Amino acid sequence: MLKKILRKQGGFTLLELLIVIVIIGILALLIIPNITSAPKKARDTQRKTDLRAIQKGMEEYFVSNNIYPVDMNTLTTGTTPIMKAVPTDPKNTSPYVYVYTPAASNTTYDLTACLENGGDNGTATIAPVAPCTTRTFQLVNNN
């Protein structure tokens, strides 16, 4: 009778507990890297969107002036500004800043942003360009 009572109280065996712990550990290993990289990917997406918006502003400026501006802030000045404000990098600390490099004649330019996600292999994403250490997103205009 006592044996039946003890068996009915039951509980988990050590083996069952170990199996559950291992399963939870495996799930954690699969989920945690995705959670920690999500903010980096979101900031990289914002960087790409911002650079495309700046590029659009540069092209609008070129249509009106037949040259590209000397710097990005030119897009926000004048009697008819092209942009209300030039976007800034989500982190906005070195090396995470937007770099605009016009040619000497202002007929071509490069727009560059450092990406945080080293695995990004999207369009216009290239190997790191100083001061970037992971990947670089670059839009080049060669009229």
Mean pLDDT, residues 3-14 taken together? 68
Write down the mean pLDDT value for the chain.
86
Helix (H) or strand (E) holding 136: strand 135-142
- Model pLDDT for residues 80-106, shown as the tens digit of each residue: 899 999 999 999 888 899 999 898 888
Q: pLDDT band at residue 129, thresholds of 50, 70 and 90?
A: confident
The CA-atom distances, in angstroms, between 62 and each of 8, 55, 69 are 83, 10, 8
Helix (H) or strand (E) holding 23: helix 14-65
Tell me the pTM. 0.75
Q: In what order do the strands lie in the sheet with 135-142?
A: 99-102, 108-115, 135-142, 125-126
- Model pLDDT for residues 110-124, shown as the tens digit of each residue: 899 988 887 777 667
Q: pLDDT band at residue 3, thresholds of 50, 70 and 90?
A: low
Helix (H) or strand (E) holding 35: helix 14-65
Domain ranges of the chain: 43-142
Surface-to-core class of residue 47, CB atoms within 10 Å of its CB (0-12 exposed, 13-18 middle, 19+ buried): buried
